[in-house]
Amino acid sequence: MKDYCKWVSMGCLAVFAVGCATNGDGNRSTMSANRTSSVKNPPTTLIPREIIFGNPDKAGVQISPDGKRIAYLAPVDGVLNVWVGPVDRPEAAKPVTDDRQRGIRRYFWAFTSHHVMYMQDKGGDENWRVYSVNLKTDKVIDLTPMEKVAARVQGVSHRFPNEILVAVNDRDPKFHDIYRINITTGERVLLRENTEFVSFLTDDDYNVRFGQKSTPDGGMEFLEPDGHAGWKRFTLVGQKDALTTQPFGFDKSGKTLYMVDSRGRNTAALKTIDLASGREKIVGQDSKADIGGLMIHPVEKTIEAYSVNYKRVKWDVLDPAIKRDFRYLESVADGDFNVGSRTLDDKQWIVSYTVDDGPVRYYRYDREKGKAKFLFTNRSSLEQYTLAKMNPVVIKSRDGLDLVSYLTIPASVKRSGIRPAKPLPMVLFVHGGPWGRDSWGYHGYHQWLSNRGYAVLSVNFRASTGFGKDFINAGDKEWSGKMHDDLIDAVNWAVASGVAQEDKVAIMGGSYGGYATLAGLTFTPNVFACGVDIVGPSNLVTLLNTIPPYWAPMIELFTSRVGDHRTEEGRSMLREASPLTFVDRISKPLLIGQGANDPRVKQSEADQIVTAMSSKNIPVTYVLFPDEGHGFRRPENSKSFNAVTEAFLAKNLGGRFEPIGDDFAGSSIKVPNGSDQVPGLGAALSASGK
């Protein structure tokens, strides 16, 4: 199953991920008979931060194309690496990589079945390199040994098991050329030079079939080779459909194109296009949600099933050949399941199950026998604790939009339905993007904060993806306007519904969620008791002036949806939407976390608001990580920041907290400003020599 979000190929303005807290390798889960039978700690037990924010035991499970071996991510001396073992004895797996810094999170099997490929950057700079591990020789080759280059895996095909396509921006930092690279020798051959395109679509024969480029209005134009070394237009997608329309692949013959398309409708439908005749056919659609996930046969390339996600993930099966499999897998466990890996002969699947109140469970499914064998969970230590349920709720915005949201109430609290018996302190946890979304399932931050005594609410505000183009487009140029109104409407709902104490609401989030935090404390300073901003922009003009160079080809998309920093009128609008402009309105406690190597939201975004606040004698606590980028990937850093956050929230909301203790060990944490504003922070810094 794959999620064909628009931004997979283009990169989102602010994708937020801190540590492994939301680590769920699938969208479904298990419980019922497959749950642990051990007695759990009572719901009042304080769950250690290490349990939630430390490394998972095992994650990202994949089976080799030939079905003989299994791979997964697991720590080696506290750092995530790739492990490989026999498929029938995963407990015999051994590490095959030797990362000692940030940990590996992105890897896949090559079709040789004796190579593992992985990607890694340095200190969060997102200058990704692609590596090949030969399991026969243990030799590791850096396939993209260039500095300050953001490599992307463009294509992998079973028809060429010893080669992959990699897009590299070494010639021009704005454009990625496509290379064909031998994974055994590292030999590289230029396939297509790029001087104008945001991205390319290639097929299984490694032909470049389409190029994608921005149009001046913020739309997208898709072009195809004209047979004379040039390009001709295939189709034009206007600005209103640009985030919900995208070609993504071909059938086995390469003559039929698969596409998700919202043109002429609201939600993105799944359709096929016969490239010879131009004949189109809709094969999947939903009135409330966009097509989100797909299941495609590994060799035949037929679309077997598709999913949509409104409140929860729902699958529709198109291919009768897998209906029996889906029926059986639905009976294995409760929750949402995900087929994350398949053998080339399609006889074995790796299936993960995700719930909202427990760890991810992994199974190896033998299709011929029709049986799934349990492997392990991703965080076995969670099984001893009573976790909270995540409840989908739909909140009406003031102008009538349906805001699909997720509410978590502490497991220890008495309730009536989904509401607590009496109002609680609440954390409004805002997702990044803004072109992303919150979904149902295990969420480390919801579990951590609810365990400390807070209600936790996450809101899919307008501009969130998955709910149709009208919902996304309603957020255009509304960063401090209606997008923020949606968050305030959700807070008002929580107060009116008896969920939240009106004077005890915090706002917290990363990336766009960090911006929303700063906006909350400047544009609506009386609503929130405090805020936690993680890698959030403070000035939209400087944000757009400092985007990574490889985002430049799609600048029109940003300017049409956020604001145009290239014109005086646009800059004026952006300044009026920037929290930095209204810094003197901040009257509630603020905690800021930032990575020094962040390529998306530069350190200067945090520096400038801290400087402005300090010049006006407004207290602020500033936590900086020299070895992090856009989010805190190293568990040591994630734990240390959340230790600070926990004490900060306890001071301002009154919840429970676990003392900082030794959670700074191994972390690069620096606190340039405001260590005296958080209980125990100064002492912990001194004790750890920070």
**Residue 469 Rama label (left phi>0; alpha psi -120 to 50; beta):** alpha
Using CA atoms, how far residue 207 sits from 86, 111, 160, 220, 370, in Å, is: 35, 18, 12, 21, 37
Please say if 277 is a catalytic residue: no
Rounded Cα distance between 295 and 305, Å, is 5
Decide the pairing of beta strands 530-534 and 500-510.
parallel
Please say if 214 is a catalytic residue: no
pLDDT for position 433: 95
Helix-strand-coil split of the chain, %, nearest 5: 20, 35, 45
User: Is pLDDT at 9 greater than 90 in this prediction?
Assistant: no
User: What are the structure tokens assigned to 307, written together?
Assistant: 């999913």
Pick from 457, 143, 439: which is nearest to 312 by CA? 439
Rounded Cα distance between 554 and 197, Å, is 9
User: Is pLDDT at 13 greater than 80 in this prediction?
Assistant: no
User: What are the structure tokens assigned to 637, written together?
Assistant: 């850093």
Pick from 240, 133, 234, 146: which is nearest to 469 by CA? 240
Rounded Cα distance between 73 and 58, Å, is 5
User: Is pLDDT at 297 greater than 70 in this prediction?
Assistant: yes
Q: Which 3 state secondary structure label does DSSP give 368?
A: coil
pLDDT band at 600 (very low <50, low <70, confident <90, very high): very high
Question: Can you tell me the mean pLDDT for 424-441?
Answer: 97
Look over the chain and give the mean of its residue pLDDT values, rounded to a whole number.
94
Alpha-carbon Rg of the chain, whole angstroms? 24
pLDDT for position 38: 59
pLDDT band at 145 (very low <50, low <70, confident <90, very high): very high
* Catalytic option among 177, 489, 564, 598: 598
Which domains are present in the chain?
66-110+112-156+160-203 (2.120.10.30), 384-687 (3.40.50.1820)
Q: Return the DSSP state at 613.
A: H
User: Is pLDDT at 222 greater than 90 in this prediction?
Assistant: yes
pLDDT for position 196: 96
pLDDT for position 27: 31
pLDDT band at 335 (very low <50, low <70, confident <90, very high): confident
User: Is pLDDT at 17 greater than 70 in this prediction?
Assistant: no
User: Which residues are 420's β-sheet partners?
Assistant: 415
> For 188-221, what is each residue's pLDDT tens digit?
999 999 999 999 999 999 999 999 999 999 999 9
Question: Can you tell me the mean pLDDT for 305-333?
Answer: 96
> For 59-105, what is each residue's pLDDT tens digit?
999 999 999 999 999 999 999 999 999 999 999 999 999 999 999 99
* Chain centroid, CA 581 distance in Å: 30
Residue 86: asked if its preceding bond is cis (omega within 30°), the reply is: no
User: Is pLDDT at 24 greater than 60 in this prediction?
Assistant: no
Q: Between vectors from CA 593 to CA 591 and to CA 594, what angle results, nearest 5°?
A: 150
Rounded Cα distance between 592 and 147, Å, is 30
3-state SS, 236-253, equals EECHHHCCCCEEEEECCC
Residue where the block lists tokens 């001087």: 195
* Catalytic option among 511, 538, 640, 675: 511
List the beta strands (DSSP E) in 23-162: 59-63, 69-76, 79-86, 94-95, 106-109, 115-120, 129-134, 140-142, 152-156
DSSP tally for the chain: helices H, then strands E = 13, 39
> For 539-591, what is each residue's pLDDT tens digit?
999 999 999 999 999 999 999 999 999 999 999 999 999 999 999 999 999 99
pLDDT band at 1 (very low <50, low <70, confident <90, very high): low
Q: Is the dihedral of CA 595, 601, 604, 605 positive or negative?
A: negative
pLDDT band at 4 (very low <50, low <70, confident <90, very high): very low
Pick from 174, 159, 144: which is nearest to 112 by CA? 159
* Catalytic option among 115, 176, 431, 630: 630
The percent of residues above 90 in pLDDT, for the chain, comes to 93
Question: Can you tell me the mean pLDDT for 496-509?
Answer: 98
Burial of 442: CB neighbours in 10 Å, binned 0-12, 13-18, 19+? buried
Contact (CB, 8 A) for 14 and 511: yes
User: Which residues are 456's β-sheet partners?
Assistant: 408, 427
User: Is pLDDT at 184 greater than 60 in this prediction?
Assistant: yes
Please say if 484 is a catalytic residue: no
Rounded Cα distance between 419 and 495, Å, is 11
Contact (CB, 8 A) for 200 and 208: yes
pLDDT band at 39 (very low <50, low <70, confident <90, very high): confident
